[in-house]
Amino acid sequence: MPDLTAPHARVLPFDVAAVRRDFPILAAAAGTRALVYLDNASTTQKPQAVIDRLMAFYAGENANVHRGVYELSERATAAYEAARATVARFLNAASTSEIVFVRGTTEAVNLVAATHGRAHLAAGSEVLITAMEHHSNLVPWQRVCEETGARLRVAPVTPAGELDLAALEELLSESTRMVAVAHVSNALGTVNPVRAIVELAHRRRIPVLVDGAQAVAHLPVDVQALGCDFYAFSGHKVFGPTGIGVLYGRLDLLEAMPPYQSGGDMIRSVAFEHTCYNDVPYKFEAGTPHVAGVVGLAAAIQYLSSFDTERVVEHENDVLRYATEQLSSLPHVRLVGRAAAKAGVLSFLVDDVHPHDVATVLDRAGVAVRAGHHCCQPLMDRFGLPGTVRASFALYNTRADADALAAAVRAACERFA
C-alpha cells in the first residue's frame, strides 16, 4: 500500500496486479466468481487506503470543523483544510481559496448557474453547451435560462461523436455569457479540446465551466494550463467516497458571486437587520460539511497521485484499445462513438436488442456494465438511439477484463440471434 501521509507521496511504478490487490471488492471470495467491474464512469471502487482513512477519521478524529476550541475539533479542522490543499495541488489551483467542497459535480454546476449565471444572464443573452453534456451540465443552465429569459444554445457533435469545434466557434457571439462543456463525455468517452475551447471563449471574454467528472480519474488536470474559469468533479468517480465533490473557481469570480445556500459557517456576522458573509471558499460551504468525505477524497487523490500518471494513462488506453478491437471483431455488435481521442468508455449495441437486455445477460456472466441513456438523452436522440451498453474502465481493469467482456457479449449475441 502506498504511503499517503506526505503531501507529495512517492511516485510508484504502475503494477496493475498490485493495484488490484489494493481494492478489496475486486478480490473474489473462495468459491465465488470474480467481479469484472466495468461501470467506472458511474462510480469507481475504493482502495483500502480510502476505506482505512474513513475508518480512522470516524474512530479517532470525528468532530465538527471550524470554531471548535477543543483539540479533537482542531484535529478534524486541520485534516479538512489539509484536504483542501491536496485538491488544490491535484488541480494546480493558484490558491486553496479557489477550492469549494460540494456534494458532487451536479451541485457544483448548480452553484455556478444559480449564482454567477443568474447574475449575468438576461433576456437576449446566451449560454452555450454541447450536444454531449450530461444532464447535470444541461438542466441547470436550461432552468436559469428559463428564469432569466436567456437562450440555451447547443454545439453539435459529429457522427463519430466528436465535438464540432468550428460550429462551436460560430455559435460564440457578443450575447454569449457562459460556455459549459464536458472534459470527457460520460456516454462516449470523447476527450474534448478544452484548452482550445477556452481560448476561443476568452477571446470574447466569455467564462468557461468544465465538467471534469469523467476526466480526473483518467487525465492529468491542470486548471491553470487549461485556463478554465470553473472546473467541477465528483469524489466517487476518482476512487473517493460518495456525496463529496469539488468546484474550482477563479478567485475573482468566486468573490463576486453571491452565496448559493445560507446557514452556519458561511457567515462572518449575523444580525436581524443584516448578515455579513464569510470569505471564499467558506461563503459557499453552508452548514456542517461532509468532513469524512473530504478527508476520504484527499486519501483517494493521494492514492492516485502516488503512481506515474503517464504509466496509468498508457495502461488505461491499452485496455480501452484492446477492448475496442475485441468488440469490433464480433458480428452483430455496433460501436457508438469513435472519436480519435477517448478515455475510459466503450459504448455499443447488439443488433436491435435493447441495451438493458444485453446488460442483464452480461451480469449473469459476472460482467458489470451500465445500460441506458446515461443521463444524456439529447445525445442519444441525436444518434436515434434509446441508449447504449456502456463498458467503462479504470486503472485496475485489465485485458483479461476486456476478454471477459468480449466473451459475455459474444454469448449475448448467440442468445439473441
Residue type, 331: P
User: Which one of the listed residues 228, 276, 375, 413 is annotated catalytic?
Assistant: 375
Contacts 24+ apart (CB under 8 A), 289-292: 289/65, 289/80, 289/101, 289/265, 290/101, 290/103, 290/241, 290/243, 290/244, 291/57, 291/62, 291/64, 291/65, 291/76, 291/79, 291/80, 292/54, 292/57, 292/58, 292/62, 292/241
* Contact (Cβ atoms closer than 8 angstroms) between residue 133 and residue 163: no
C-alpha distances in angstroms, 283 versus 211, 260, 261, 279? 22, 8, 9, 6
Counts for the chain of helices (H) and strands (E), in that order? 15, 15
| CB atoms closer than 10 angstroms to residue 325 | 11
147 Cβ contact partners less than 8 Å away, ≥ 6 residues apart = 118
Residues 28 and 44: their CA atoms lie apart, in Å, by 17
C-alpha cell at 88: 488544490
Catalytic annotation present for 376? no
Residue type, 172: L
Residues 176 and 168: their CA atoms lie apart, in Å, by 11
| CB atoms closer than 10 angstroms to residue 85 | 14
C-alpha cell at 335: 460501436
Residue type, 68: G
Residues 28 and 407: their CA atoms lie apart, in Å, by 19
| Residues with active-site annotation | 375
